[in-house]
């Protein structure tokens, strides 16, 4: 059974169904301007005025996977918190879908179309699959929420089979699929995936990246992917940013990154 049922962009239904209901396609982004969906410019962030990440710049286009990797303690979690609005910026700007969101709070960024799937505490263990999806759809009107939940169960066939099972009864891979589906319920323009393959068996990790993450990009979602499985994740990334000690050690295309002779040197040595 496939874990993700993708629909090619050319076969996507129109943004609004004839009856005006939600259709599961990401909300619009004007790609004619050439501007990225998400852009960080010289972002510094940290705690109690002390920066952990320094002068980070990166971009994510609609329909693209932008990968951020780095050793433990590199500042990846702090960077994510600054993007979703949990942590205020100390310097720099964040632009999302044409708006400067640097001073927007977490809720406003979420409502504006920025989705987030955390690495841990990503599902409610005492709620069923359907109930978890209902939590993700809490902002939607009742009818649209039902359509969105049905869409997710169709897109994730395994979840349809498990829809009455509680979160604590799911395997690690099943929980991650549920977390991603819940993150998609609100139909975000961009989805931040924080280590979606953490603690998954290699086969399942590959399926999540190759089928689900690539499938999401192919249906128009921008993806900011934070990962520890560098070789596996870089295969699907259009852009790669390497963070070391809170600073950008490397930034380039996925193809350029894969051609580097010694990726390990980026993590523990010097710039290429």
Q: What is the pLDDT of residues 142-168, one digit of tens each?
A: 999 999 999 999 999 999 999 999 999
Mean pLDDT of 173-187: 94
Q: Are 234 and 254 a contacting pair, CB within 8 Å?
A: yes
Mean pLDDT of 135-147: 93
What percentage of the chain has pLDDT greater than the value 90?
79
- Residue 19: per-residue pLDDT: 39
State which H helix or E strand residue 241 sits in. strand 239-244
Q: What is the pLDDT of residues 98-130, one digit of tens each?
A: 999 999 999 999 999 999 999 888 899 999 999
Closest CA to 82 of 121, 129, 128, 114: 114
Closest CA to 53 of 65, 43, 63, 62: 43
- Residue 269: per-residue pLDDT: 64
**Separation of CA 115 from chain center:** 7
User: How many Å apart are CA 67 and CA 58, to the nearest integer?
Assistant: 10
User: How many Å apart are CA 121 and CA 239, to the nearest integer?
Assistant: 28
- Residue 265: per-residue pLDDT: 83
Closest CA to 89 of 105, 73, 76: 105
**Is the model more confident about 6 or about 164?**
164
- Residue 15: per-residue pLDDT: 33
Residue 39's pLDDT band (cuts 50, 70, 90): very high
Q: What is the pLDDT of residues 67-98, one digit of tens each?
A: 999 999 999 999 999 999 999 999 999 999 99
Q: Check whether 12 has a pLDDT greater than 50.
A: no
Q: Check whether 140 has a pLDDT greater than 80.
A: yes
Side-by-side strand order, sheet with 89-96 = 50-60, 38-47, 89-96, 99-100
Mean pLDDT of 186-204: 94
- Residue 9: per-residue pLDDT: 34
Mean pLDDT of 14-36: 46
Q: Check whether 24 has a pLDDT greater than 90.
A: no
Residue 264's pLDDT band (cuts 50, 70, 90): confident
Residue 255's pLDDT band (cuts 50, 70, 90): very high
Q: Check whether 16 has a pLDDT greater than 50.
A: no
User: How many Å apart are CA 63 and CA 221, to the nearest integer?
Assistant: 5
User: How many Å apart are CA 252 and CA 233, to the nearest integer?
Assistant: 14
Residue 271's pLDDT band (cuts 50, 70, 90): low
Looking at every residue in the chain, the average pLDDT score rounds to: 88
């Amino acid at each position: 059974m496939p874990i993700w049922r993708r629909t090619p962009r050319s076969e996507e239904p129109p943004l609004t169904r004839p009856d005006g209901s939600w259709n599961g396609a990401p909300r619009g982004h004007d790609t004619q301007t050439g501007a990225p969906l998400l852009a960080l410019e010289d972002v510094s962030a940290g705690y109690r005025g002390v920066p952990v990440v320094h002068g980070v710049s990166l971009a994510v286009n609609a329909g693209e996977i932008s990968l951020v990797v780095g050793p433990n303690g590199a500042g990846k979690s702090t960077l994510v918190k600054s993007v979703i609005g949990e942590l205020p910026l100390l310097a720099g700007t964040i632009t999302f879908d044409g708006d400067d969101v640097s001073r927007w709070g977490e809720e406003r960024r979420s409502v504006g179309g920025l989705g987030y799937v955390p690495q841990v505490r990503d599902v409610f263990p005492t709620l069923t699959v359907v109930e978890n999806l209902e939590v993700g759809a809490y902002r939607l009107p009742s009818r649209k929420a039902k359509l969105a939940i049905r869409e997710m169960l169709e897109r994730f066939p395994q979840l349809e089979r498990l829809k009455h099972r509680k979160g604590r009864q799911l395997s690690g891979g099943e929980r991650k699929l549920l977390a991603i589906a819940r993150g998609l319920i609100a139909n975000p323009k961009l989805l931040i995936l924080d280590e979606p393959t953490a603690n998954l068996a290699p086969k399942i990790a590959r399926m999540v990246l190759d089928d689900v993450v690539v499938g999401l990009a192919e249906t128009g979602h921008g993806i900011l992917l934070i990962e520890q499985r560098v070789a596996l994740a870089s295969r699907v990334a259009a852009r790669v940013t390497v963070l070391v000690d809170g600073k950008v050690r490397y930034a380039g295309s996925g193809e350029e990154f894969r051609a580097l002779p010694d990726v390990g040197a980026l993590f523990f040595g010097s710039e290429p």
